[in-house]
Structure 1
């Protein structure tokens, strides 16, 4: 537990900083303590919810020297936090019957919450802060990664690293959010994007490995011989599938389609792990169109299904990449 060193109880109001205003939310008539923010806003509140929620306040309020005042006199505690942060602290500490759980709408609010959790031993604040970071990671994963590393949130570090694959590398690295983030954290993220993802993806285009993410029977792309007796002129490759482990001859343009999609993920730098099938699909269909058998087959449906299943398999493999942290 953090040793109480702040806020400072102060019963001598004459020596305290002048009050600018009083909180409109936390202003109870029966309050027995006043928290005065660093910018001079008074919060007239109760000791009991603070003591129950925070071991820090429980220890602080138990110090006899802090409350050697006359009966009925309200203690004033000068806070180092500003009014926004103090109000957030109280909103977390008071029961939900009196106030709703704070909405951590942006990363600044989350940092306030995590700072309060660390200083005042509010462990229950960690979970809502993590939920907010999960949401924010979709748009600014590098900022979430930096914050999660600084506050030692290993699960969020891994989640942010994964989300960062849909964005350029560290677009906010020069901001103050990265102050205090060790170099090892950035080097690890770089290695994850550059090599670990490639290692997970490369087996998807290894002709010697069985294909487990799609069944051969799902690839309806025409036989070698059409009903009219025309022979397929396409190159073929022998591949094994989970439903055809012994191996089966598959159209070469289908396998080229798969390999080209995998190459998108195996290229660095990359700003996304979402497959772009437009050009690849057009090239595959152009090759199939040169064949009198394949041009009339259900090639486009088979290729779209292939791309969808390949995307899911690639994401599954990337998601399973271990991401170690020192905490």
Structure 2
């Protein structure tokens, strides 16, 4: 009879390391990391403590000033803990907007909007407005409509004006314009004011393509001086600065017409860039005489005369919230 073979002892399995799905805990950096002689703690919604001085918070925020002026219970801790609704990441960035020894850190416009909402709207810190505007200005070229909405929300007319002017580069009145979510936060009247300003700037800008009275006379630009019989003249002569009528080539009038249409839709168009100038180059190319001079002369005309007149016309359009 065969004796049973003893079973080999099984090797105990190594316990696997638990994998945590929770995000790493935020650790505040200077100047909120050390307790020192800080006399208050702001505790974020995710349980992170920020050591602060109530004198600083009271100085910048009437909300905190009122809070700290309330009588304390006899058994209250020496260093009071104030629970806030903001998480540690946004609270850290908000505090850095006004706290001595800290530098504001903002990654996105949406983050900036959130910080402004917390500090200005919730805690009534009007003192951070200028810092907030400086940061908003960095997004003017990229997101003028969103900046306009934020400025309107906080009644910052100077920033709203800058954003409105920057929006002139957009096809704001076109049906396919994508509206930013910030539009939901402003009154319809504020958006109507922007659209009306955009329209009036378009009318003003286009008007400068419908007159040549700002051009010195006599003028040697080729669209006035071309003698090629094959280069068609416009049916009407145009007044120049001397108030005398001057014949002008048809291609140039058509170029001004096309430019006016563009400016009506996007008044902030850079009419001195290659794309806009190409409209004139293409039309002038049909005449051998005009073709030789149009590149230098059209650039000179737009840069030294027309662009500044368009800018002046836009600057005369008033804007208000």
TM over 0.5: yes
TM range (shorter): 0.7 to 0.9
Partner of 1:34: 41
Find 1:128's aligned residue among 128, 131, 139: 131
Task: Give how far 1:69 is off.
Answer: 4.4
Q: CA RMSD in A?
A: 3.2
The answer as to whether partners of 2:40 and 2:80 remain within 8 angstroms in 1 is: yes
Equivalent runs, 1:9-48 vs 2, <5 Å: 23-25=28-30, 26-28=32-34, 29-48=36-55
User: C-alpha deviations, 1:111-170, integer Å up to 9, x for none?
Assistant: 133221232232221112112222212112221122222222222222222222323438
User: C-alpha deviations, 1:157-191, integer Å up to 9, x for none?
Assistant: 2222222232343855363x233322223333333
Q: 1:232 to 1:307 in 2, by over 3 A?
A: same
The answer to whether the aligner puts 1:108 opposite 2:110 as a matched pair is yes
The answer to whether the aligner puts 1:320 opposite 2:316 as a matched pair is yes
Equivalent runs, 1:30-179 vs 2, <5 Å: 30-63=37-70, 65-66=71-72, 68-69=74-75, 73-95=78-100, 98-100=101-103, 102-115=104-117, 116-169=119-172, 171-173=177-179, 175=181, 177-179=182-184
Distance 1:282 1:179 in 2: 44
Task: Give how far 1:246 is off.
Answer: 4.1
Distance 1:259 1:23 in 2: 60
Distance 1:281 1:306 in 2: 13
Q: 1:277 to 1:216 in 2, by over 3 A?
A: same
Distance 1:66 1:93 in 2: 26
Q: State the SS of the aligned residue for 1:211.
A: coil
User: C-alpha deviations, 1:91-124, integer Å up to 9, x for none?
Assistant: 23322xx222x03342123213322123223222
- Structure 1: runs of 5+ lacking an equivalent: 1-19
Partner of 2:240: 241
Distance 2:220 2:123 in 1: 59
Partner of 1:14: none
Distance 1:241 1:274 in 2: 24
Task: Give how far 1:225 is off.
Answer: 8.6
Q: Rg bigger for which structure? A: 2
Task: Give how far 1:319 is off.
Answer: 3.8
Select the structure that is richer in strand: 1
Q: State the SS of the aligned residue for 2:82.
A: strand
Distance 2:200 2:224 in 1: 38
The answer as to whether partners of 2:201 and 2:267 remain within 8 angstroms in 1 is: no
- Structure 2: runs of 5+ lacking an equivalent: 1-24
Find 2:263's aligned residue among 257, 260, 265: 265
